[in-house]
Amino acid sequence: MKLEDFNYELPEELIAQTPRKNRDSSKLLVMDRDTGKITHQHFSDLTKLLVPNDILVINNTKVIPARLIGEKEDTHATIELLLLKDLDDNVWECLSRPFKRLKNKTRLTFGNGKLKAEVIAKKTEGIVHVRFIYEGIFLEILDQLGKMPLPPYIHQELAEKDRYNTVYAQNIGSAAAPTAGLHFTKELLSQLKDNQIKIVEVTLHVGLGTFRPVETEDILSHHMHSEYYELKEEEANILKEAKQKGHRIIAVGTTSTRVLETIYQKYQTFQSCSGYTDIFIYPGYQFQAIDCLITNFHLPKSTLVMLVSAFSKREYILNAYQEAIQKGYYFFSFGDAMFLKKEPKLH
C-alpha cells in the first residue's frame, strides 16, 4: 500500500482555526461502514443515533501545556521542547527543535531560570530525553511556562486553554487532544446516560504514535511510536458483557479504538491492563473490539486516515471526505465529525 493512496486535496479555508462556540453544534457526517451510504446531521443528534445498551468509549486523557520555549544556557540559542512522555524521576521524552543544536549534557533554561533541564540522551527523529530541574510542583510550573501544543495548521492562540481538552479530561499526560471527544458537552453526555447509553472510560496519552506524519512511500515501512494506555477492571467488565450480549461498542476517536483493539488482540477479550501500544491499523486489519467509530476528519496521508479506511473501505472514506468538502465541513482538530456506524442488532 502506497502513501499516495490516502491522499486528498483540501481547500485551506476548510481547516478549522478555532473551536465552535458550542461544542456539540458541529456537523456530523453519518456513514454506514458496510455500504458507504451517507446522511448529514449534527453532533447533538447522537441522542437519536445511539440506542439503549450501546457502549460509548471515551479517552479521558488530559493535554498538558507541553510546549516549552527556552534557550541553551551557554549560547542563548532558542530551543523548543514538546513534552511527550513522563519517564519518571523528572525525566521526559521530548521532541526538540532544532534537534541538531542539542548534545548530551546540553543545559537548557526556561522562564528566566524558573525551570532548567539537561539533555541526558539524544535519540533519533528529533527525540531527546531531558531531566528537569526545578523547585516546587512541576505541573504548576508547566502551567505557568508552557503553551498548549496546538498543531502547526492552527495559526492562532486559543482564547481559552480548556477548549483543547475534552469536558471529561482528567488523566494528565497528552501532547495532543483526542479530538473526536472535543464535541461532547456535559449536557450531551448526561442525555446519553438518560437514554441508557453506557459510558466507559479508557486512557491513551496521545504522543508521536498518533500525530507523527508518515514519510515512507510504502506505508508498511512507517515506524509507530508507543503510547501509554490503561483500561480499568470495572470498565473491562462492562465491555466484556456488552460483547457477549452483542451490544454495539462505539469508540470515540482513533485513540480509544487503538486501546480497545490492542487489548483485544492481546487477550481475545477485554481485560484490565495498562502498558504501551504501537499498534498500526491500516486496510486489511480485522477489527475485533469495536462496532462503530466517532471520529474527526483527518490529515491527508496520516495514520488516522489509514485507520478509518481500514474500519470501512478506503473508497468509501475518500468519497465521504469529498462530500464533506462539497458541503463545507470543517476539518482536523477543531473541525466537524463523522460517525461510522453499523446498525444495531435486533434483540
Lowest mean pLDDT among 58-62, 163-167, 209-213: 209-213
Q: What is the mean pLDDT of the chain?
A: 96
User: What confidence category does residue 48 fall into, taking pLDDT thresholds of 50, 70 and 90?
Assistant: very high
Number of neighbours of residue 37 by Cβ within 10 angstroms: 11
Q: Which residues of 4-26 are buried (b: 16+ CB within 10 A; e: fewer)?
A: eebeeebeeebbbeebbeebbeb
All residues at 6 or more sequence positions from 152 whose CB lies less than 8 Å from its CB, including other chains:
none
Of 85, 155, 151, nearest to 121 by C-alpha is 85
pLDDT score for 347: 55
pTM: 0.94
**Phi, psi dihedral angles at 192 (to 5 degrees):** -65, -40
Q: CA nearest 146: which of 64, 65, 80?
A: 65
Q: Considering only 34-38, 124-128, 172-176, 206-210, which range has the smallest mean pLDDT?
A: 206-210
Instruction: Look at residue 86 in the predicted model and tell me its pLDDT.
Output: 93
Q: What are the pLDDT digits (tens) for 249-289? A: 999 999 999 999 999 999 999 999 999 999 999 999 999 99
Place of cell 465529525: 337
Q: Checking DSSP bridges between strand 292-296 and strand 273-277, what pairing results, if any?
A: unpaired
In tens, the pLDDT along 164-186 reads 999 999 999 999 999 999 999 99
The answer, yes or no, to whether residue 319 has pLDDT greater than 90, is yes
Rounded to 10 deg, the angle between the 253-267 and 303-311 helix axes is: 60
CB 211 within 8 A of CB 151: yes
- pLDDT computed for residue 46 by the predictor: 98
